[in-house]
Amino acid sequence: MRAFLAILSFVSLLNVAQAVAENGPVVVELYTSQGCSSCPPADAMLHDLAKRDDVIALALHVDYWDYIGWKDVFGRPENTARQHAYARAANATTVYTPQMVIGGVDHVIGSRPMQVMDAVQVQSRRGYLFDVTLTRQGNYVRISAPAGARGDYAVQLVRYTPQATVAISRGENAGRDLSYANIVTAWDVIGRWNGVSALALDVEASGDSPVVVIVQQSTDGPIVGAAQLR
């Protein structure tokens, strides 16, 4: 009975989050590792989040578990550095996997769907300061946003691989074929913006991989605007 009620509550939260998302998609960052036995449930949840139009779901594979027997083929030291920056901003003493950072501010254990969906719902209601618009122009993308609140904002360009499956032969997940969604391959700060005048920025974004733009206070604070071209 408890499991049934939990499923009903999860579905209810999912529907509510979809209904109130009117101010841009919620950015969900999953910090994960192929060497972490607790991560596959969070990886599977990110698959579900990646299907939604009101969420930008991003998997950032870290490298600090590589030493225990399996080197994550998607692990990037830049992802590890970003997670540590979030920890410092939150005055946290450690980092862990699986961790989801939602909207740049809410830190949740990624394998706890009820907590994740509650945080997505909160961020959906909170909304963003800026409405970011992306327009593809050949190999370039025009990034636009209206003027608004003054601040120190980082304009960031993210590229990702939509899906991949990896056969894990060693480590905690040895013998498993694991599927991953929205695997971040690049995350670059392409500009700074003070929010006082309208944002109009052209950036090269060649290739077939999706394009995500995230506007954030500094690079480890609240996300104030986001958009995606799949």
- Neighbouring residues of 13: CB distance < 8 A, sequence distance ≥ 6: 114, 117, 118, 121
Position 10 scores a pLDDT of: 40
Position 22 scores a pLDDT of: 43
Dihedral sign for Cα 61, 226, 114, 118, please: positive
Strands (E), the chain: 26-32, 55-61, 99-102, 106-109, 133-137, 140-145, 153-168, 176-193, 199-204, 211-217, 223-229
* Closest residue by Cα to residue 74 from 130, 27, 20, 30: 30
- Neighbouring residues of 166: CB distance < 8 A, sequence distance ≥ 6: 34, 73, 74, 177, 178, 180
CA distance 109 to 69: 23
Residues 195 and 57: beta-carbon distance below 8 Å: no
What count of other Cβ atoms lies within 10 Å of the Cβ of residue 27?
24
- Neighbouring residues of 22: CB distance < 8 A, sequence distance ≥ 6: 124, 127
Right CATH number for 2-229 from 3.40.50.410, 3.40.50.2300, 3.40.50.1000, 3.40.30.10? Answer: 3.40.30.10
Q: Helix count (H) and strand count (E) of the chain? A: 4, 11
Instruction: Profile the chain (230 residues) by mean pLDDT over runs of 10 residues.
Output: 40 37 82 97 97 97 95 98 97 96 97 96 95 94 96 98 97 96 98 97 93 96 96
* Closest residue by Cα to residue 50 from 3, 100, 114, 112: 100
pTM: 0.89
Q: Domain residues of the chain, as ranges?
A: 2-229
Tokens of 126: 């909170």
pLDDT digits (tens, 9 = 90+) for 109-133: 999 999 999 999 999 999 999 999 9
98 prior amide bond cis, ω within 30:
yes
